[in-house]
């Protein structure tokens, strides 16, 4: 008991040092273009971007079935030729350098529709292909699992490459699987994807658990014990609040926006943003247009309504439905999201939680395109110049680029070290099914 008390005090002290009080003051007055560009360039030179979420591994699965021995990651522009809609990948080594990306959480996502045992196999396959991609490009990429390793890789001019699991279905409702995936290098897990898992509610599914089940709370506790970041992108507001109630280390939102700016349920409500200073967590602002632009979100809802109307009107006549939807699209062009929309989310999170709780998580290669000016990973310098124009200082830009997420990682590592003498959480596994009695 004394050891636990001492370790808790040590961690509390580390967290207090690592998570400064939220700054509620607005940015300084806007600055001129030349000063803004220079400030952004200086910030990204001192603190390269540490992006929270990139779906290249899923592109490798979908486009080349994880056959990468001849895959050129220096330049992925030629991938447009084999895509059914002619879309090239949004990420490659050349463009990551242009975007001043110094560290990347690669998402080892697998489809949330898969049965849990299949998902466990598939996530291991995605970890494998991501590690092989890193090994194939040693001049540019370096595998990392700790904040210190990230900083050393960036200092050596490498892109620190970490693994993030997207969706708790990937652990097959097993803490043993969770521990083994952590041992393979996974350093965060998004608790759900688009659908509920047996122990947590997703933002875009009908509630089943009113947040986390008792087992779901044990998942959070075990992740904290391991030093694995709890990612609350994709989960419901109730799940967010339950996780914050349980968590002993900072949480992350690897690719989300502010719901007060764009009402999509994937975004973070103010009720949760207001709790981040106490927890020490971070929202890594996403670039996906319907998550950052309310006009784009509203347009999508209207289009979905029109499609449903046409299907009801022209049942069994898909050609008529397609014709009618094409006419609607012509009469109702989609609004365009911009870098300014991303900056609006950053402004709002700063106002509610403080600049210490902001990062970036583009979601590149997990969406058809980013907003105008931010269509691929080259866009980060333009985003940081926009923030500088709004009066963010170089020190604040460095925090948003990478210093905040490194602070979060260190706090999670410190908590794990403080409870290193605690045993793993054990849960009962289902007994084997007895063989069927012979007939007759």
- Integer Cα distance of 273 and 220 in angstroms: 19
Q: Where are the beta strands (DSSP E) in 144-216?
A: 159-166, 186-190
Element housing 284 (H / E): strand 282-285
Instruction: Please tell me which residue in 51, 92, 182, 193 is annotated as part of the active site.
Output: 193
Among 132, 17, 45, 118, residue whose Cα is nearest residue 401: 45
Is 270 annotated as catalytic? no
Instruction: Please tell me which residue in 169, 209, 255, 345 is annotated as part of the active site.
Output: 255
Q: Provide the total of helices (H) and of strands (E) in the chain, helices listed first.
A: 18, 9
- Integer Cα distance of 168 and 68 in angstroms: 26
Rg of the chain on CA atoms, in Å: 22
Distances (CA, A) of 342 to 53, 59, 90, 238, 359: 15, 24, 18, 25, 11
Query: Cα 326 vs. chain centroid, distance in angstroms?
Result: 33
Is 83 annotated as catalytic? no
- Integer Cα distance of 312 and 323 in angstroms: 14
Instruction: Please tell me which residue in 51, 53, 237, 242 is annotated as part of the active site.
Output: 53
At CA 112, angle to CA 193 and CA 285, rounded to 5?
Answer: 25
Instruction: Please tell me which residue in 51, 92, 151, 166 is annotated as part of the active site.
Output: 166
At CA 268, angle to CA 50 and CA 43, rounded to 5?
Answer: 25
Structure tokens at 201: 């509610």
Instruction: Please tell me which residue in 182, 209, 234, 345 is annotated as part of the active site.
Output: 234
Are 18 and 412 contacting, i.e. CB atoms less than 8 angstroms apart? no
Is 345 annotated as catalytic? no
Phi, psi of 14 (to 5 degrees): -65, -40
Instruction: Please tell me which residue in 51, 55, 222, 242 is annotated as part of the active site.
Output: 55
First to last CA, the chain: 60
Instruction: Please tell me which residue in 51, 218, 363, 376 is annotated as part of the active site.
Output: 363
Is 234 annotated as catalytic? yes
Is 193 annotated as catalytic? yes
Is 209 annotated as catalytic? no
- Integer Cα distance of 377 and 369 in angstroms: 11
- Integer Cα distance of 302 and 420 in angstroms: 52
- Integer Cα distance of 399 and 154 in angstroms: 15
The DSSP symbol for 379 reads G
Is 363 annotated as catalytic? yes
145: Cβ contacts below 8 Å, ≥ 6 apart: 162, 185, 187
Q: Residues with catalytic annotation?
A: 53, 55, 166, 193, 234, 255, 363
């Amino acid at each position: 008991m004394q050891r636990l008390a001492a370790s808790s005090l040590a961690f509390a002290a580390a967290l207090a040092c690592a998570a400064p009080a939220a700054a509620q003051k607005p940015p300084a007055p806007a600055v001129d273009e030349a000063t803004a560009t220079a400030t952004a360039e200086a910030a990204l030179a001192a603190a390269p971007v540490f992006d929270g979420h990139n779906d290249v591994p899923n592109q490798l699965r979908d486009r080349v079935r994880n056959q990468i021995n001849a895959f050129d990651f220096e330049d992925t522009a030629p991938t447009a030729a084999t895509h059914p809609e002619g879309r090239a990948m949004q990420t490659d080594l050349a463009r990551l350098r242009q975007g001043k990306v110094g560290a990347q959480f690669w998402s080892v996502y697998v489809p949330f529709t898969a049965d849990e045992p299949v998902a466990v196999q598939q996530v291991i396959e995605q970890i494998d292909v991501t590690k092989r991609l890193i090994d194939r490009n040693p001049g540019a990429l370096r595998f990392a699992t700790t904040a210190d390793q990230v900083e050393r890789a960036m200092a050596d001019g490498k892109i620190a490459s970490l693994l993030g699991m997207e969706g708790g279905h990937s652990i097959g409702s097993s803490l043993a699987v969770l521990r083994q995936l952590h041992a393979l290098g996974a350093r965060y897990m998004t608790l759900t994807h688009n659908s509920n898992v047996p122990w947590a509610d997703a933002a875009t599914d009908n509630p089943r658990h009113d947040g986390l089940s008792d087992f779901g709370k044990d998942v959070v506790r075990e992740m904290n014990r391991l030093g694995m970041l709890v990612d609350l992108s994709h989960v419901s507001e109730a799940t967010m609040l339950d996780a914050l109630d349980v968590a002993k280390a900072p949480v992350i939102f690897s690719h989300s926006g502010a719901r007060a700016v764009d009402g999509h349920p994937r975004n973070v409500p103010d009720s949760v943003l207001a709790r981040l200073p106490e927890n020490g967590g971070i929202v890594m602002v996403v670039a996906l247009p319907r998550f950052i632009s309310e006009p784009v979100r509203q347009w999508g809802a209207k289009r979905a309504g029109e499609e449903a109307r046409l299907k009801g009107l022209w049942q069994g006549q898909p050609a008529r439905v397609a014709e009618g939807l094409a006419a609607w699209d012509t009469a109702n062009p989609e609004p365009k999201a911009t870098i300014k929309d991303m900056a609006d989310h950053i402004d709002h999170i700063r106002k509610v939680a403080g600049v210490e709780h902001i990062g970036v998580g583009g979601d590149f290669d997990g969406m058809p395109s980013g907003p105008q000016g931010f269509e691929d990973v080259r866009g980060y310098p333009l985003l940081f110049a926009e923030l500088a124009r709004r009066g963010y200082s170089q020190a604040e830009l460095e925090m948003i680029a990478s210093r905040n997420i490194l602070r979060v990682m260190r706090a999670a590592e410190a908590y794990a070290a403080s409870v290193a003498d605690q045993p793993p959480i054990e849960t009962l596994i289902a007994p084997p099914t007895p063989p069927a009695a012979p007939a007759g």
